[in-house]
């Protein structure tokens, strides 16, 4: 975001976004009111509206930060290897770290997608698309067995990971190992009959 577009009261802007991201993540978007967010950020509801005309705009702003977080983590991960499969593993590991406690903003991106507002839905999906393109490109570079559908591989892999905030618990392996094992399972499968 160009500096000139940033709101002036930047000192209240960031805590407000953090409060909203935390509530959206823990409680859900529909379940959270502007009043809840104001209370969490120790502000008056009117002050929230000073920064954001609506809860939708707050969510879009949180998404943009979350996507930036994901993009940076993914680019760093890709730089660690030249092999497409290792790069995919590294990107998935960075993704899991981010959504399992690394950043509330990054978690909101994968857990909050209001289904009953088409205009908002389309804006959020467009933001996600830039990030998911990284997965498209990495999967496009894999030497896949015949019969493997690239789109379904991406949707299945991302779906499995993005559900982790729901199914993850401390009795499991650490996030990095989980990604290793899930992808290894994909790799180790039976040979498909011709």
Partner 1 sequence: MKQQAASQKEPQTNGRRQELIDAAAYLFATKGFEATTMRDIAAHVGKTPGALYYHFTSKDDLLVAVHSQARKWGESIFQEVDSSAEDPWLRLEKICIAHMQALLERSDYAAVVGGTLPEDDAKLRRQLVGVRDDWERRFRELIEELPLKTESDKKYVRLALLGAMNYSQVWFRPNRESPRAIARKMVDLMRYRLLD
Tell me how far apart the alpha carbons of residues 44 and 83 are, in angstroms, rounded to a whole number.
Answer: 52
Which span (56-64, 71-79, 90-98, 180-188) binds partner 1, by CB under 8 A? 180-188
Binding mask 46-85 for partner 1 (x = CB under 8 A): ---------------------------------------x
**CA atoms within a 13 Å half-sphere pointing along the CA-CB vector of 168:** 18
- Are 78 and 53 in contact by the 8 Å Cβ rule? The answer is no
- Are 38 and 20 in contact by the 8 Å Cβ rule? The answer is no
Nearest to partner 1 of 8, 192 (CB atom): 192
How many residues are given for the chain? Answer: 194
- Are 123 and 36 in contact by the 8 Å Cβ rule? The answer is no
**Footprint (CB under 8 A) of partner 1, residues 84-103:** 85
Is residue 150 within the footprint of partner 1 (CB under 8 A)? no
Tell me how far apart the alpha carbons of residues 107 and 101 are, in angstroms, rounded to a whole number.
Answer: 8
| Given 1, 147, 170, 194, the residue binding partner 1 (CB under 8 A) | 147
| Given 5, 8, 167, 194, the residue binding partner 1 (CB under 8 A) | 167
Interface ranges with partner 1 (CB under 8 A): 26-31, 33, 85, 113, 115-116, 142-149, 152-153, 155-164, 166-167, 172-173, 178, 181-182, 185-192
């Amino acid at each position: 975001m160009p500096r000139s577009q940033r709101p002036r009261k930047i000192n209240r802007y960031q805590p407000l976004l953090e409060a909203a991201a935390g509530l959206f993540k823990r409680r859900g978007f529909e379940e959270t009111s502007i009043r809840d967010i104001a209370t969490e950020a120790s502000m008056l509801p009117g002050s929230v509206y000073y920064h954001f005309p609506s809860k939708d705009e707050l969510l879009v702003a949180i998404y943009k930060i979350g996507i930036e977080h994901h993009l940076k983590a993914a680019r760093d991960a890709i730089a660690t290897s030249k092999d497409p499969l290792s790069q995919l593993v590294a990107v998935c590991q960075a993704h899991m770290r981010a959504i399992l406690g690394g950043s509330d903003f990054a978690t909101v991106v994968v857990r909050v997608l209001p289904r009953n507002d088409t205009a908002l839905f389309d804006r959020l999906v467009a933001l996600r698309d830039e990030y998911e393109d990284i997965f498209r490109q990495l999967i496009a570079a894999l030497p896949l067995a015949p019969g493997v559908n690239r789109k379904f591989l991406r949707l299945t892999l991302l779906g499995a990971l993005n559900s982790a905030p729901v199914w993850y618990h401390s009795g499991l392996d650490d996030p990095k190992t989980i990604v290793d094992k899930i992808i290894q399972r994909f790799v180790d499968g039976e040979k498909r009959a011709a």
